[in-house]
Amino acid sequence: METYADGDAEALLACLTGDWVLHEEDGSTSSRSDLADITRSHAAAFPEKRIEWLQELVNSDRVAHHVRFTLVHSGRYRDLEPTGREVELWEMIFHRFEHELIAESWRMTYPDGVYSALTDD
């Protein structure tokens, strides 16, 4: 998560196996390339961010995190000019490890992503 907070997509990818996949709550999946793109776009649009670890559970090759993200929208994000708004997101994310790298992840986010948090009033 620190690599995400720092906007370091390459360091984040180094934590993942070559065939890593992220399973989203709606049944879709995201790839390593998708994650790198998200990390880079968030670094530009939300250079100020905080991550609070609420819970962490470890069991063999599985790790579960409950995390709160606080982001300040100070750069262009998709079609949105900077608003200065502070948004909070909560995530439950589960990882399966292989050889000390994350091989597969499952994620649930509330509200439904950063864009929704910025556009919902």
Model pLDDT for residues 24-58, shown as the tens digit of each residue: 999 999 999 999 999 999 999 999 999 999 999 99
User: Partners of 107 in the beta sheet?
Assistant: 24, 93
pTM of the model: 0.88
Architecture of the CATH domain 2-119: Roll (3.10)
What's the pLDDT score for residue 38?
Answer: 92
Domain boundaries, the chain: 2-119
Model pLDDT for residues 65-94, shown as the tens digit of each residue: 999 999 999 999 999 999 999 999 999 999
Q: What's the CA gap between 53 and 58, in Å, rounded?
A: 14
Mean of pLDDT values over 15-28: 96
Q: pLDDT grade, residue 1 (50/70/90)?
A: low
